[in-house]
Amino acid sequence: MLMETTTAMPPVRGTDVSVDEDRYARCIAISKRVRWDIDKDVIRGRSFNPSDKFLPDGLSLVQDMDFLTGDEKRFISQVQGRTYANIFGLVERFITAKLLEVGREYSLGNQNALEALVRFSDEELKHQALFRRINDMMSEIMPAGYRFDIDPDMVARAVLSKSTWAVLVLTLHIELFVQNHYRQSIDPEADLSGLFKDVFLYHWKDECQHVVLDELEVARRDATLTPEQRDIAVEDFIGLVGAVDGILQMQAAADANYAMSIMMMHGRSFTDDEKQAMEQSMLKAYRWQYILSGAQHPHFVKVLTGLTTDAQRGRIQAAVASLM
Ligand SMILES: [Fe+2]
Ligand SMILES: [Fe+2]
């Protein structure tokens, strides 16, 4: 683990401090403009329906599960959509804790940066509340047996034991793929649940500013590191990607078992090959959603290229490639 101080940080490497000031101020202005309420704006008295599709095909990769019927594929979109909300609720626990810690460094200095990061943390607390609510609402229309047993505090404790650089790079990665998922898959798909779409529309609105703040804070932190410390931070990041994959493997197995047990209650049977295919398809979809779609995001690649050496990037790429 890196030794880090909480003293004033130097300005971002290679950038003008006044430009950064402006970026913090713009994030505050947008945060105020898009501010939304869980009930009044997102839920609006609606509920989910068993005939709803939740997660779009571009994320669930359900088209690869050619041994399933149309109704079964829709059920997979519900199972994965519920996990999609729960995974965000999970990662937002460590994101909020880290951004509060980073924001505290500005408490007696840059008040725009302080306000931008306080708003960021407040928004993530609201997102966690929204996703808990969504999980409860989904449980009302889905058969009993769904499990999401991962403790967000336990995960956060493990993540926060790593260097801040690595946690912020992971956060940037997550918040960038949120944007791509919404713009490329959730928004364009016409036959999704309107409520599910709105949950991720409002989430996306906040994440657009969060990405700007992540990038500013990663660069500020990066400027304080020696090459040796950055190299350790890169290893920490690779370790965090591996830890994310461990969570995905557990949840993919849990979700595949839940989905198959419900389908079997409706008279379906699965050959051993189909059971294996279901588990593998679920893990492939989760790796795509939470690791690979972000790792390939052009802006993430660009930021990482600015922060790391070719050799360090090679190590990250090799770790990601092992999950394909
Ligand atoms: Fe969020
Ligand atoms: Fe966020």
List pLDDT tens digits, range 76-107. 999 999 999 999 999 999 999 999 999 999 99
For residue 94, the CA-to-ligand 2 centroid distance in Å is: 11
For residue 41, the CA-to-ligand 2 centroid distance in Å is: 18
pLDDT digits (tens, 9 = 90+) for 133-192: 999 999 999 999 999 999 999 999 999 999 999 999 999 999 999 999 999 999 999 999
Q: Which ligand is nearest to the CA of 208?
A: 2
Q: Which ligand is nearest to the CA of 171?
A: 2
Measuring CA to CA, which residue among 43, 20, 12 is closest to residue 196?
43
For residue 122, the CA-to-ligand 2 centroid distance in Å is: 10
pLDDT digits (tens, 9 = 90+) for 25-65: 999 999 999 999 999 999 999 999 999 999 999 999 999 99
The pair of structure tokens assigned to 283 is: 């893990």
Taking the CA atoms of the chain, what radius of gyration do you get in angstroms? 20
DSSP code at position 171: H
pLDDT digits (tens, 9 = 90+) for 231-282: 999 999 999 999 999 999 999 999 999 999 999 999 999 999 999 999 999 9
For residue 211, the CA-to-ligand 2 centroid distance in Å is: 7
For residue 127, the CA-to-ligand 1 centroid distance in Å is: 5
Task: Report angle CA 268, 272, 276 to the nearest 5 degrees.
Answer: 100
DSSP code at position 15: S
Q: Which ligand is nearest to the CA of 202?
A: 1
Per the CB < 8 A criterion, the answer to whether 93 and 155 are in contact is yes
Report the alpha-carbon distance of residue 272 to residue 278 in Å, rounded.
Answer: 10
